[in-house]
Amino acid sequence: MRLPVLDLDKITFYYGDRMVLDRVSLTVFSGDFLGIVGPNGSGKSTLLKIIAGLLRPAAGSVRVFGVERENSRRETRIGYVAQNVTSFNQGFPATVEEIVLAGLTASLGLLRRPGRRERLLVEETLESVGLADLRERLIGELSGGQQQRTFIARALVAEPALLLLDEPTVGVDADAKDKFYELLATLRRERGLTLLMVSHDVGVVAEQVQNIACLNGKLYFHGPPAEFRAEDMLCQAYGSAVRILHHGDH
Amino acid sequence: MTGLFDFWAYTFMQRAYLAGLVVAVLCPTIGIYLVLRRLSMIGEMFAHVSLAGVALGIFTGVYPLATALGFSLGAAAVLETLRRTYRVFTDLAIAIIISAGLSLAVVLIGLSRAFNIDLYSYLFGSVLAISPHDLWLVTAVGLLVVSFSWLFQKELFFIAFDEEAARSSGVAVDLVNLLFVAATALTISVSMRVVGILLVSSLITVPVAAALQLGRSFRITAVLAYIFAGFSVMFGLFVSYHANLAPGGSIVLTAVLIFVLAAGSRKIFPRGGRLHAKNEILRHSENEGLQNHTPAAEDC
Ligand SMILES: Nc1ncnc2c1ncn2[C@@H]1O[C@H](COP(=O)(O)OP(=O)(O)O)[C@@H](O)[C@H]1O
Ligand SMILES: [Mg+2]
C-alpha cells in the first residue's frame, strides 16, 4: 500500500470571523499528482498556506507522513511555491544561483554556512530544471517562465517529498506552460515527487493530474479526473468548469 | 613638512580613522538588508530616537551613547509590538516612533536650557573628538554586528528576498528579524558618533544605493557597498581635515557623489548586458522626443 504523505483532517479556517475553509479532509498518497481546482476566493491558497505551515487552522489537523505538523518547526519535506511568487522586487540584486542556494537555509540550520556539498546540490537542481546556463543571471532579467522555474528549484533543492504549487502557470506564456508540465512529469518520474497543484484552469489541470479535488470552502470532489464528470452535481460551484472537462477528456 | 598625510601623526586623527573604518563596515552591513527590504526609514527612526537618548544622557549626566543605545533598543521593541500586537503598518509605526523620539528630544533639550556643545557634536558628528572610550564601544559593537551578519547571512538574504518563502521553509524568521532590528539599533547609535544623527541614515543607505546600480549579484553588490562606504569615510575625513570642512557632511557628500557616478555609469553601460541594452534601445526609440541622447544605443 502507498504511504500517505499528507493527511488533512477536518481543516477549518477563519479570516477574522469569516469561515473560508469548512472541515476539509484530504489524503495525498506518495507519488500522487493532485490538482486542486475551485473558483477565485474558494480558499485554495489558504489551504496551501496551512499545509505549508504559514497559517494555523482553527480546527482540524495536518499530518505529514503520519506526524502532526507543528507550525513553528521546520518541515523540509514540504516545498512550497506561492501564488504570484514572481511579483517580487525585480531589481533585487540576486543571481539565480544565489536564490536557489537560499532554499537550503532551513535545512542547514542556524549558524552554518553553505559549503561545497550545498553548491553541488544547487548545481544539480539547476540542471534538473534546465537553468544551468542562467545560473549567474540576475533574477530580474529572466522571463516569467524562467523565474517560475527558479523558484521551483529553490523549493526542490531542499529535496522535499511533497511540492505545493499555487497557480504556477499564471502569467507564463503557452510555450513555457508546456515546458513547465514536462518538467513536472520529469520530476515525478526521476525524484518520485508528490505534487499538489492549485489552479483555476480545470481544463489543463484535468489533462495533467492523476487526481483532482474541487474546493469551494468545502471539498466537493476528490478522485480521478475521469470520474469528476459524474460528480458534477455535487461540485455546485463548478458547473462551467465541468463542461470544459468534457472536451479535454479522451 | 606639510605632507598630505601629516595628520596621521595625531592620535585623534588615528582614532577618527579607526572609528570611521568600523562605521564604514557597519553601515553597509545593515544597510544592504534595510534598503532591499524597503525599510530605509528604520534608520531615520533610530537616529531620531537616539537624539532623544543623547538629550536625556546630557540632561542627566549619563554617558549619552549608552542612553542612545537604550532608547534605540526600546524603540525596536515598541516597533515590533506596534506591528504585531496592534497590527499597525510598518511605515506608520515608524512615523509614530519618529514623532515620539523627536518630540521627546525637543522637550529634553528645552529642559536642559542650553543647546550645548555636546548635543551639537552628536547632531553633526564629532569624529575628531572621539575618545578612547568611544572607540572601544564603536569597535565592540562593530565586532558584534559584523559577526551577527556573518553568522546569519543566509537567513538575512533569504528573508530580504522573500520573507514568506523563508518562513514556510522553516527559517526562524521571527528570531532573525528581532536580532536584525537590535543590530540596526546598535549600528545607528554608534555610527551617529562619527557622522552625526542627522546623517547616519544616509551612510546606511547611500553606499548601498550606489552599489545597487552596478552589482551583478548579491555578493558583488555587498562588496561594492563596503568599498563605497569605506572610500566615502576615508576620503571624506581626508578632505575635511585639509579643507576644514565638517567631517560628517564630507563623508556623506562623498557617498552621494559616488552614487551619482554609479547611476550615471549605469546609464551609459546598462547592467543587463546585451539583452538589456537592446530593450533600452527599443524603449528609447519609442520616445521620439528624447531621441537626441541615447547613450545606450552606442554600445552594442
Ligand atoms: N489575509 C487575508 N485576510 C482576510 N481575508 C483573506 C485573506 N486572504 C484571503 N482572504 C479571503 O479568503 C478567501 C479565500 O482566499 P484564497 O485562499 O486566496 O482563495 P483562492 O486562492 O481560492 O482564490 C477569499 O475570499 C479572500 O478574499
Ligand atoms: Mg489563490
Report the range of poorest mean pLDDT among A7-21, A146-160, B115-129, B210-224.
Answer: B115-129
Task: Write down the pLDDT at residue A72.
Answer: 59
Interface test with B, best of A77, A89, A105 (most B CBs within 10 A): A105
Query: Could you read off the pLDDT of B229-242 as tens digits, one per residue?
Result: 999 999 999 999 89
Average pLDDT over residues B45-69: 90
Q: Is residue A20 in a domain?
A: yes
Question: How do beta strands A59-64 and A194-199 pair?
Answer: unpaired
Minimal CA separation from B145 to chain A, in Å? 14
ipTM: 0.90
Place of cell 529572466: A142
Q: Is residue A201 in a domain?
A: yes
- The full set of domain ranges for chain B reads 6-289
The reply to whether residue A141 touches residue B272, judged by beta carbons under 8 angstroms, is yes
Task: Write down the pLDDT at residue B276.
Answer: 45
The reply to whether residue A106 touches residue B215, judged by beta carbons under 8 angstroms, is no
CA angle in degrees (0–180, nearest 5) for A215-A217-A221: 30
Task: Write down the pLDDT at residue B91.
Answer: 87
Task: Write down the pLDDT at residue A73.
Answer: 66
Query: Could you read off the pLDDT of B130-179 as tens digits, one per residue?
Result: 889 889 989 999 999 999 999 999 999 999 999 999 999 989 998 999 89
Per-range mean pLDDT, top range of A231-245, B28-42, B122-136 = B28-42
Contacts of A113 in chain B (CB under 8 A): 153-154
Structural domain including A86 reads: 4-238
**Residue A61 is part of a domain; what is its CATH number?**
3.40.50.300
Task: Write down the pLDDT at residue A131.
Answer: 94
Residue A179 has pLDDT above 80, yes or no: yes
Report the range of poorest mean pLDDT among A57-66, A203-212, B26-35.
Answer: A203-212
Q: Is residue A92 in a domain?
A: yes
In angstroms, what CA-CA distances link A175 with A131, A169, B205?
16, 11, 41
Residue A27 forms beta bridges with which residues? Answer: A7
Query: Could you read off the pLDDT of A74-126 as tens digits, one per residue?
Result: 677 899 999 987 788 889 999 999 999 999 999 998 888 999 999 999 999 99
Q: Cβ neighbours of residue B25 under 8 Å, at least 6 residues apart?
A: B142, B146, B226, B229, B230
State the pLDDT confidence band at B264, using cuts at 50, 70 and 90. Answer: very high
Residues B6-289: name the CATH superfamily: ABC transporter involved in vitamin B12 uptake, BtuC (1.10.3470.10)
